Structure 1
């Protein structure tokens, strides 16, 4: 035992860790990451400019303005844009169509890898429809 925290020494823990690996289908192996890999990871995790996102919401911005709808850009890390539709969008029956138009406009940007609506405003079938449309336009 490690006398500071009561943690078993590494040699005593290893057999236990091996048992967990064998019995756990969700076990993820641990890897050592070098400095070069960390630098590449940092470059890939650059944030997309939030102002760029708001400027490229598309033609639906006029409707959002008229109905007090608000696009809240929550996160843009790694090109994955997390958005919440708030204000007049809350409880509105047109929110899925608004989300679909925003998704379509933002997925055209080179820096954007995905758009996630945190409140689930964009159903999967609408996302698939837009993805197919974007592929046919390419």
Structure 2
């Protein structure tokens, strides 16, 4: 099980942007901008701006970014400050990652 309390090395804004490279290429084509606001404590705070504002694809873009970054050992959480990632999508991805890791997410009583 991944220990989310550990964050040996902090991730930098540059590393975040490099990690989401394939998504960034699509955003560039549509004037979308990823702003890395903070990365302290392994908690990456982002906003999707520019062409992303009001775009119906923004939640899917946020979902791809969340999934890519949550795979990294140096990332504890990914927070979209403007609410670009709905909670149900976040829950879906967390469950998918738990399934991929072969770990039960929690016990249902």
Normalising by structure 1, we get a TM-score of 0.65
Q: Is the 8 A contact 1:81 1:115 kept in 2?
A: yes
Q: Is the 8 A contact 1:79 1:113 kept in 2?
A: yes
What aligned pairs does 1:44-55 form with structure 2 within 5 A after superposition? 47-55=10-18
CA distance in 1, matches of 2:72, 2:21: 11
Q: Once superposed, what is the RMSD of the aligned Cα atoms?
A: 1.6
- Could you tell me which residue of structure 2 aligns to residue 75 of structure 1? 38
Larger radius of gyration: 1
User: Per-residue deviation at 1:59?
Assistant: 2.7
1:107 is the counterpart of 2:70: yes
- Could you tell me which residue of structure 1 aligns to residue 94 of structure 2? 131
CA distance in 1, matches of 2:97, 2:18: 20
Report how many aligned residue pairs link the two structures: 95
**Runs of 5+ in structure 1 lacking a partner?**
1-43
Normalising by structure 2, we get a TM-score of 0.81
* Secondary structure of 2:79's aligned partner: strand
> Is the alpha carbon distance of 1:130 and 1:58 closer, same or farther for their aligned partners in structure 2, counting shifts above 3 Å?
farther
Among 96, 105, 122, the residue aligned to 2:59: 96
